[in-house]
Amino acid sequence: MTDRRILVVGAGPAGVRAAITLAQAGDHPVLVDHAPGIGGAVYATLRRSAHGNVAHAKEALRLKADFDRLRPQIDLRCGTSFTGLDPQGTALLTGKAGLIFKPRAVILATGARERVRPRPGWTLSGVSTAGALQIALKTAGNLPPNRVIIAGSGALLYAIGAQLTRAGRPPVAILETGRPFHNAFQARTLPRVVLIEAAGYMTRLIAAGVPILTGTDLTRISREGDHLLAQTSRTGRWATIRADHIALHDGLASNDYGLTAPPPGLPVVRAGDCAQILGRHAAEDSGRLAAQQVLAALHDSHTTSTLSPQYAQAQISLARLFQRAPQLPETTGLRDLPDDTVMCRCENRTLGDLRHAVLHACEHGPATGRSLRLGERVGMGPCQGRQCLDWVAELSPHTANFADLRGARWPLKPVRIRDILAATDEAAN
């Protein structure tokens, strides 16, 4: 028997706004998130437990106020993970508030996943993703050690650099692989609110004297005593910068790990960055639209609501602004890395392992995603390939593309049997 409730996965701005919209329409949605509270990555300060004044974005406070008013109508399950839907449309939620039930529709608002390009030394202690550093700062006020380098490509580098500067820990350098300021004229098409935010970040960084080195690639990380050494390449010149912590970020991709083929008759809609990387300013509108689409599908009606086209244009502009430096090869230099470079952190598989697996597979026929998964375990660890498969696909033969490597999975990630047994089973009611 199908439950009357709608499942919303992800309690970031898109998921929370979707749940609010459903509650306003008289529904009682189930909102699930693995974090201990709402807000997602972008409004993670809402989960901050430290004492004292914490700066919240006005949009975050407005969203929380709207949510609090309708909280009795929303079944919020934090500390709980969405593990997927089985072929019969049964949803499995595991964790603190585990549940097994059959929703009548699903909204996936799982946000974005961070891309980090492998390079020698990227698995050393003291190296993290920029996103992890930002979450620690937002939720617990934790600052990294004294000398911090932020490296990679994308707008997030500047946002995190400005946030660290505001917290009294300006980075010693921001290393940007692309050359966004060479294409600054593209910024004129960005929404005004995005331009104002970006200008605030840059003003803070410049006032603090933070070096911003564009066209600079972080090629290798090594350790010397208690410090990290970042080897950089810029316009054919090499330099080494000493640091205590290095945060890496090479762009965002939709965290659309989920339903490649939803069960027949079950409406499934993606919202926010899970659907398209448009950032926080478009997330709430996207969540509201997803809820309207689900309600229309359930009631055999139509919705004419659309996401403002300015945000789609903004995404194109941002992509152009952060184009990679022209001197870098299209393959981002992955093929030139040494064999001992770790590609899959979960299973500790190296580039040499991957090259050997491809050659071995080709001796017995074309290398496929399945043969690489089974032979080298890429994409089979706890992250299920969210960190490695972009790069494995780039290095693999054309017969093993990203979709083939990822495959269709149920459950979506490894689950302990005791978590399944502990979940409240309402599917048969």
Q: Give 318's pLDDT tier (boundaries 50, 70, 90).
A: low
Q: Are 60 and 92 members of one domain?
A: yes
Write down the number of H helices and E strands in the chain. Answer: 12, 21
Average pLDDT over residues 402-413: 77
Task: Say yes or no: 57 and 141 in one domain.
Answer: no
Given a contact cutoff of 8 angstroms between Cβ atoms, the answer to whether 91 and 81 are in contact is no
Q: Same structural domain for residues 157 and 221? A: yes
Query: How many independent structural domains does the chain possess?
Result: 3
Max mean pLDDT among 5-9, 284-288, 306-310, 407-411 falls in 5-9
> Are 167 and 235 contained in the same domain?
yes
Question: What is the CATH classification number for the domain harbouring 136?
Answer: 3.50.50.60
- pLDDT tens column, 103-161: 999 999 999 999 999 999 999 999 999 999 999 998 888 899 889 999 999 889 999 99
121 and 242 fall within a common domain: yes
**Local structure of 390: helix, strand or coil:** helix
What is the tens place of the pLDDT at every residue in 45-104?
Answer: 888 754 444 566 788 999 999 999 999 999 999 999 999 898 889 999 999 999 999 999
What pLDDT was estimated at residue 52?
44
Domain assignment present for residue 266? The answer is yes
CA dihedral angle for residue 155, residue 157, residue 159, residue 164, rounded to 10 degrees: 180
Query: Is the pLDDT assigned to residue 216 strictly greater than 70?
Result: yes
* Per-residue pLDDT tens digits for 219-260: 999 999 999 999 999 877 889 999 999 999 999 988 987 666
Residues 282, 401: one domain? no
Tokens 């706890």 identify what position? 382
How would residue 210 be classed by pLDDT, with cut points 50, 70 and 90?
very high
- pLDDT, tens digit, 9 for 90 and up, residues 320-376: 555 544 444 444 578 789 999 999 888 888 988 888 777 665 566 666 777 777 777
| Confidence band for 26, pLDDT divided at 50, 70 and 90 | very high
Mapping DSSP onto H, E and C, the string for 248-281 reads: EEECEEECCCCCCCCCCCCCEEECHHHCCCCCHH
What sign does the CA torsion over 367, 370, 374, 378 have?
positive
Which range marks the domain in which residue 146 is found?
116-250
Query: Is 190 found in the same domain as 93?
Result: no
Give pLDDT, residue 186.
Answer: 64
How far apart, in Å, are the Cα atoms of 247 and each of 45, 167, 170, 210, 333? Answer: 20, 16, 13, 15, 20
Q: How far apart are CA 406 and CA 409, in angstroms?
A: 8
* pLDDT tens digit sequence for 381-399: 888 888 888 888 887 766 6
- The answer to whether residues 245 and 260 belong to one domain is no
| Cβ atoms 114, 128 nearer than 8 A | no
d(CA 161, CA 150) in angstroms, rounded, equals 7
Residue 327 domain-assigned (yes or no): no
Q: How far apart are CA 38 and CA 424, in angstroms?
A: 22
d(CA 24, CA 237) in angstroms, rounded, equals 59
Using the 8-state DSSP alphabet, how is residue 324 labeled? B
Q: Residue 208 domain-assigned?
A: yes
| pLDDT score for 319 | 56
pLDDT value for 328: 43
Looking at residue 23, its pLDDT comes to: 97
- Residue 416 lies inside a defined structural domain of this protein: no
- Name which of 26-30, 92-96, 414-418 the model is least confident about: 414-418
CA angle 117, 344, 380 (to 5 degrees): 130
Q: What is the pLDDT of residue 321?
A: 56
The reported pLDDT for the residue numbered 295 is: 94
Cα(271)–Cα(353) distance, rounded to whole angstroms?
37
Global pTM value: 0.89
Instruction: Give the helix/strand (H/E) hosting 12.
Output: none
| Nearest residue to 252 via CA among 130, 351, 399, 373 | 130
- The reply to whether 364 falls in a domain is yes
Same domain, 27 and 51: yes
Q: What share of the chain is helix, strand, coil (3-state, %, to 5)?
A: 35, 20, 40
191 lies in a domain?
A: yes
Whether residues 109 and 170 share a domain: the answer is no
In a domain, 324, yes or no: no
Is residue 235 located within the same domain as residue 268? Answer: no
- The whole-number pLDDT of residue 389 equals 86
Report if residue 199 sits inside a domain: yes
Looking at the structure, do residues 153 and 193 belong to the same domain, yes or no? Answer: yes
